Amino acid sequence: MSLISDNPATAAPADLVLPDLEAASAAEVVAWALDEFHPGIALACSFQKEEAVLLDLVFEARPDARVFALDTGLLFDQTYDLWKQVEERYSTTIERWQGPTLAEQAARHGDKLWATNPSQCCGIRKVEPLRRGLSTLDAWVTGIRRDQSPARAGAAKVEWDDQFGLVKVNPLADWSDKDVWREIAKRDLPYNPLHDQGYASIGCVPCTRPGEGREGRWAGSDKVECGLHQEDA
Ligand code: SF4
């Protein structure tokens, strides 16, 4: 199925019919999505525990599945180490989607933009590279779960993404934290060691602190999302 159109509008195509896969397992959702959209589909990998599971499901379904990561240049060393480990384990190359260099950003917007205007920094380093990359795809797979935050509570397993104009597949939408850890143990999967140091959610070094749920992200501010799964909040 090709959904790419010349129209940059993000409304769903009038003839788009998405299946109701709410009762399907994560593996079934992944298999359906790759069958339907590959090579126009990729897994968004932020190297958190959810992606540990999704990477395994995706490569189980298709060894040539596509995976991308947004490299802000500010990820933890542990995250970059895991990146290499994942590439070796699955004999794959994760597509690196990037914004401007940190030096270019500093020259244009001042040093440490994350401290003065984190929304602009996320926009430049995450949202714009994501928008560019997703504009070449028909669908993306994400690790979002409904219990992660109120903003994610309404996520369906398969839905239209109005923000970026493509199908969004959330195979773990109904999983709990425990479900994820149980699957990691069952499959003996590599995961980000920062989780063992109290980081429930892991992003860029300057904006991530240990904490439950997403409380460690942009701690001390009202910001809770990068703008990848909803407009910046
Ligand atoms: S998480 Fe922080 S450092 Fe990373 S892109 Fe957003 S504001 Fe910038």
pLDDT tens figures, 134-192: 999 999 999 999 998 888 999 999 999 999 999 999 999 999 999 999 999 999 999 99
Q: Please indicate, yes or no, if residue 105 is contained in any of the structural domains.
A: yes
- Walking along the chain (233 residues) 10 residues at a time, the average pLDDT comes out as 49 91 98 98 97 98 98 98 98 98 97 96 97 98 93 95 96 97 98 94 91 65 68 49
In residues, how long is the chain? Answer: 233
Pairing of strands 139-141, 41-44: parallel
Look at residues 38, 36, 39 and name the one whose alpha carbon lies nearest to residue 17. Answer: 36
Instruction: Quote the pLDDT of residue 214.
Output: 60
Q: Please indicate, yes or no, if residue 128 is contained in any of the structural domains.
A: yes
Q: Please indicate, yes or no, if residue 18 is contained in any of the structural domains.
A: no
The residue range of the domain holding 108 is 26-196
Q: Please indicate, yes or no, if residue 1 is contained in any of the structural domains.
A: no
- Cβ atoms of 158 and 144 within 8 Å: the answer is no
Q: Please indicate, yes or no, if residue 122 is contained in any of the structural domains.
A: yes
- Quote the ligand 1 centre to 113 CA distance (angstroms): 8
Instruction: Quote the pLDDT of residue 215.
Output: 63
Instruction: Quote the pLDDT of residue 229.
Output: 75
> Ligand 1 pocket: which of 47, 76, 104, 122 to mutate (most atoms <8 Å of CB)?
122
Main-chain dihedrals φ then ψ at residue 142, nearest 5 degrees? -130, 165
**Burial class of 94 by CB neighbour count within 10 A (0 to 12, 13 to 18, 19+):** buried
Q: What is the number of domains present in the chain?
A: 1
Q: Please indicate, yes or no, if residue 163 is contained in any of the structural domains.
A: yes
Cα 142 to Cα 72: distance, rounded to the nearest angstrom: 18
CATH assignment at residue 101: 3.40.50.620
Instruction: Quote the pLDDT of residue 4.
Output: 44
Q: Residue 232, CB half-sphere, CA atoms under 13 Å: how many?
A: 16
Q: Please indicate, yes or no, if residue 166 is contained in any of the structural domains.
A: yes
Cα 93 to Cα 144: distance, rounded to the nearest angstrom: 23
Instruction: Quote the pLDDT of residue 230.
Output: 65
Atom of ligand 1 lying closest to residue 124 CA: 5
Alpha-carbon Rg for the chain, nearest whole angstrom, is: 17
Q: Please indicate, yes or no, if residue 125 is contained in any of the structural domains.
A: yes
Atom of ligand 1 lying closest to residue 226 CA: 6
226 classed as catalytic: yes
- Cβ atoms of 137 and 48 within 8 Å: the answer is no
